[in-house]
Amino acid sequence: MTRYLISFDDGAMTFPEEELSAVAEVAHAVVEEAKNAGVWVFGGGLHSHETVSVVATDGTVSDGPFPESKAYIGGFAVVDVPSREEALEWAAKIAVACRCAQEVREFVPDPTV
């Protein structure tokens, strides 16, 4: 099996605020479906990139995102599936549930895991 990151950009969910509970309900149902299928590893939504801290290689901490960053992850899911095609199928379900496009990227295999 291979792990895939399914993610969307911060600000991609552009539906009206009053629809948030309905979207959350559908999204949670997809998560439960993935858990029941045995492919769910981990996932969740992230707070705004405005609240990020960056830790430099020397240990210095600065508030705010990397200045050169143009896109920020708003939410993600990690699935462990047998094929890219299946990862794309899960991404499609998440896209419908969250009402926004999803990016799919394969993790580099780690032979020690």
pLDDT for 57: 94
User: Which phi and psi angles does 101 have, rounded to 5°?
Assistant: -65, 150
Residue 49 included in any domain: yes
Which letter does DSSP use for residue 34 in this model? H
Two tokens, residue 63? 């508030």
- Residues 97-112 have pLDDT tens digits of 999 999 999 999 888 8
CA–CA separation, 63 and 14 (whole Å): 26
Domain CATH for 11: 3.30.70.1060
Residue 40 included in any domain: yes
Select from 74, 107, 78 the least CA-distant residue to 90: 78
Residue 85 included in any domain: yes
CA–CA separation, 101 and 113 (whole Å): 30
pLDDT for 69: 66
pLDDT for 92: 98
For the chain, what is the domain count? 1
Residue 112 included in any domain: no
Q: Which pairs count as long-range contacts for 83-86, CB under 8 Å and 24+ apart, including other chains?
A: 83/2, 84/2, 84/4, 86/39
What are the b/e assignments for 33-45, b being 16+ CB within 10 Å? ebeeeebbbebee
What are the pLDDT tens digits along the chain (113 aa)?
Answer: 899 999 998 888 889 989 999 999 999 999 999 999 999 999 999 888 778 888 989 999 988 777 666 678 899 999 999 999 999 999 999 999 999 999 999 999 888 87
pLDDT for 110: 85
Q: Which domain holds residue 40?
A: 2-106
pLDDT for 104: 98
Residue 113 included in any domain: no
Residue 86 included in any domain: yes
